[in-house]
Copies of this chain bind each other. A is one copy, B any other.
Amino acid sequence: MASGTIAFESHHDHNQCIEQAMDEARSLCKARNQRLTPIRELVLKLVWQSHKPLGAYEILPALAEAGFNSAPPTVYRALDFLQEQGLVHRIALLNAFIGCPHPGKSHHGCFLICRHCNTAVEADSRDAEALISQQASKLGFTTEQQSIEVLGCCPNCREHAEE
């Protein structure tokens, strides 16, 4: 399914990525009776400006420009909300946030992060997660949440920088 991997297509119509993400967010929040306030909506849009994970402190100036208060709690609150709603994910290796390309659907994703261009793609990891949970249960461990993050080289960067 391309909804995640489109990020590796360097000339895709990214405006459509953004619009789709915002539309889905609005309808999801409406359905859940959650408030996608102006700040939250703006933060989500900013996170979706690219497929590169964005640090919380990179969001602050844009909030200020838009006339909002711009202190760390503001952006972290918005990010917390968006994470709770499954609209963005946090990438632990980068201390950064990225939009989820298919929110709503309960999914098991891993992140493929390009070391060169920084693009991150959420790929399906259902099978791998099942395997890990199964191995863990053999040790008596009950899995509740998994974080799979992969560093490497994306197809674009491989092509442009043959070594």
Contact = CB atoms under 8 A, between A and B. Distances in A.
A78 interface: no
Nearest to A4: B139
Given A127-B131, A132-B110, A139-B112, A152 B148 contact: no
Interface string A122-163: 011101100111011001111111111111111100100000
A152 B144 CA distance: 5
This chain: copies in complex: 2
Interface residues of A, number: 37
B121 A144 contact: no
A133 B123 CA distance: 11
Interface of A: 5, 8, 92-93, 110, 112, 114-115, 121, 123-125, 127-128, 131-133, 135-136, 139-155, 158
